[in-house]
């Protein structure tokens, strides 16, 4: 995308380098490939966590510790990321972005595993029981 700027009767084309800069984290559920059978309680907890994380500016969420916010880790997960994720400009460097379903791991050590790109969290796996990788 480019924008034209007039400067003393001259037109200058300026390329937009940071056109989409959200302040809050957005969530994308298009690429979920693994999820347990979620109970109503777990669905409600997932909704509460997403609402909590997305209601605070990214700069603040990024300062939270891993029990409340996000952690980035290289994981050895046998499940495959949905192939449509790689369409377009999205790439995967092997590091997953993870947040906990329950901040204190009680009643389960559930994790939401995905990838954060430009403040968009792409959800890949909902691991309610904590069985997808070794903690």
Domain layout of the chain by residue ranges = 22-127
**Mean pLDDT of all residues belonging to the chain:** 85
For the whole prediction, is pTM greater than 0.85?
A: no
Residues with Cβ < 8 Å from 38, sequence gap 6 or more?
46, 126, 128
Which of 110, 75, 67 has the alpha carbon at shortest distance from 92? 75
pLDDT at 2 over 60: no
pLDDT at 107: 86
pLDDT at 13: 62
Q: Determine the Cα–Cα distance for residues 74 and 24; give it in Å rounded to an integer.
A: 24
């Amino acid at each position: 995308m480019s924008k034209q700027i007039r400067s003393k009767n001259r037109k200058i084309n300026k390329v937009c380098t940071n056109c989409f800069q959200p302040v809050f984290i957005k969530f994308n559920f298009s690429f979920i490939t693994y999820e347990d059978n979620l109970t109503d309680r777990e669905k409600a907890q997932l909704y509460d966590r997403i609402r909590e994380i997305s209601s605070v500016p990214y700069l603040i969420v990024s300062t939270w510790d891993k029990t409340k916010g996000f952690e980035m880790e290289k994981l050895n997960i046998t499940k495959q990321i949905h192939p449509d994720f790689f369409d377009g400009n999205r790439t995967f460097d092997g590091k997953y972005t993870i947040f906990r379903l329950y901040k204190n791991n009680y009643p389960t050590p559930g994790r939401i595993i995905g990838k954060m790109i430009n403040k968009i969290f792409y959800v890949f796996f909902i691991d309610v029981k904590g069985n997808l990788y070794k903690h």
